[in-house]
Amino acid sequence: MQAALDIYFDNIRHKRPEFEAAIVTWRDTLAPQLERLEEQRKAVIGRAIKRTVMVGGIVLVLLAILTFAIGFEVMFPFGIFAGIVVTFLACAAVWIPVFSMKSQTKQLVVGAACDCFGFQYDTMHVDMGGISGIKSLASWAQSNMSSFKEMNEPPTPAFDRLKEAGLMPSYDSRKFEDLIEGVRADANFTMVECKLTEQQGSGKNRRTVTKFQGLLFNIDYPERFLGRTLIARDGWWSWGRKNGMQQVDLVSKELEDAFTVYSTDQVEARSLLTPDRMERLIALERHFKGGKLRGIFEDGHVTIALEAKNQFEAGSIFKPLVDPDRFIETLTEIGLVCDLIDGFLTREWYKDKI
């Protein structure tokens, strides 16, 4: 078994020093923890499915009786929709433990990967493990209102810095999760997922629109910047406040076509945004399948926003937990964050290894 596992990890062990320690972490710590959770996962999902099928069957029989009694034309489509709503409400509480286990699995897998790099991780999810029914759900909601408010507070200065620079959109509500923080290249950094939504329209046309979903990075730079520099993907600049700044001509024509840069200090901006560092930004976008990257270099901070879908999910809760791919994918994602930091602080990284 161990020989097979070593072969499985051979594809990553040479890429970073931290990955060698990660193999030991998987074998001695993470895999045993996930094995203990696996039976619990099966039982929790089994109960949820059984309850849903039972309630769905009862609702279906009642709908059939009502349809026979008052006619199909009356029942369709509103009766069918009502049946779906009733089934959802009756079964919602029993599915909460499933998603609570999903959060628990994320904390284990991503937390273990972060440990390998010396970082700390927090899902920032409210603990919902004690919910088993509607009554316990109501009691839990009443006692956790303050926790929901805390989830909306930025856990990193990145959000306020980007917002002040005009690099974040307007929004009605915000949510943060998956906080990673630590020290890399002797610099403190934080990274968090952020989602901003806004209500648009009115009446029946009112809908919730996602204005931003992605990653926010804040890196403490070892020196204070002399000026202020804003960077954004070319063609996307309407939000940036560039008052008092001039556009910067980049060294590479290819990069100049890809990014727009404004700064109060042209010399500093060009020394900061070298082609190799810009490559790290592009690699970050590519791996996270993101876009609309933008950021600000000011005072002693490098602050970057990248729009992307949910990251650090640690795999599906509906698949077996003891799967090394969950761990390897998370290690790769964290390694790419390290590349970004290394590229700006040490100019050293593991090129072509991600």
Given the DSSP bridges, would you call strands 301-307 and 259-263 parallel, antiparallel or unpaired?
A: unpaired
Dihedral sign computed on CA atoms, order 276, 278, 282, 285: positive
Q: pLDDT class for 350, splitting at 50, 70, 90?
A: very low
67 contact partners, CB below 8 Å, separation of at least 6 = 75, 79
Q: Where along the chain do its domains lie?
A: 2-345
At 77 the pLDDT is 67
Buried b (16+ CB within 10 A) or exposed e, 229-246: bbbbbeebbebbebeebe
Q: Distances from the Cα of 298 to the Cαs of 65, 224, 272, in angstroms? A: 68, 8, 12
What tokens does 304 get?
């970057």
pLDDT tens figures, 29-70: 999 999 999 998 999 899 888 888 888 888 778 777 777 777
Tell whether the model's pLDDT for residue 332 goes beyond 80: yes
Report helix, strand or coil for 174. Answer: strand
Kindly state the percentage of the chain with pLDDT values over 90.
25
CA pair distance 231, 305, nearest whole angstrom:
10
List, for residues 256-311, the tens digit of each pLDDT value.
778 888 999 988 888 888 888 887 788 778 777 777 889 999 988 999 998 888 88
Whether the per-residue pLDDT at 197 is higher than 90: the answer is yes
For the segment 217-246, what is each residue's pLDDT rounded down to a tens digit? Answer: 999 887 788 899 999 887 666 556 667 788
Is residue 132 predicted with pLDDT exceeding 70? Answer: no
Grade residue 133 by pLDDT with cuts at 50, 70 and 90: low
